[in-house]
Amino acid sequence: MIIQKQRLKRGWSQQQLAEVSGTSLRTIQRIERGAAPGLETLKSLAAVFETSIEDLRGALDMPTAHDAPETQVSTSEALAMREVRHLRNFYVHFVAYLIVCTSAVAAIWISAPQDLGAAGLLWIVWGAGVALHAARTFLWGGAWERREVERRLGRAL
């Protein structure tokens, strides 16, 4: 999460961080999900974030009380980052749904207008999937997750 926090502090997308650091987008995505980066990747990220490899490696492993505040990710920050990632994934899904379904209707309208029922079925079936994704994102997402974490911890975050 520290990589994501540092990236967001600078206002960079994952793609921008990948370009600046000379790593792949997939590598940045994996690190932000918790995968351990290799030494070369650590060197690149440490240079980009203007910190030492040891500090970055330590922040990735386990933050301690004596770490600088900017290298620590609190539980609430980690949950907020996760919520935002879920929200972004929903928006990507929704936009893909709109583009693909609209394109399908246009293609069917041009080629075989009598088969518009198939396009309608696509809208309905995929729309149900989008509706479930929306429910998971907006109804069962962040607030529910936070309550469950607090319940398990026995205290507020």
Domain residue spans in the chain? 2-70, 75-153
CATH topology of domain 2-70: 434 Repressor (Amino-terminal Domain) (1.10.260)
Q: Taking Cα atoms as reference points, which of 22, 140, 155 lies closest to residue 76? A: 155
pLDDT value of position 109:
86
If you average pLDDT over residues 1-14, what whole number do you get?
80
* pTM, 2 dp: 0.49
**Mean pLDDT, all residues of the chain:** 80
Q: How far apart are CA 100 and CA 126, in angstroms?
A: 10
Please answer whether residues 3 and 45 qualify as being in contact, where contact means their C-beta atoms are separated by less than 8 angstroms. yes
pLDDT value of position 122:
87
pLDDT per position as a tens digit, 50-60: 888 888 877 67
| Secondary-structure percent of the chain, ordered helix, strand, coil, rounded to 5 | 80, 0, 20
pLDDT per position as a tens digit, 111-128: 988 888 888 888 899 999
Q: How far apart are CA 111 and CA 141, in angstroms?
A: 41
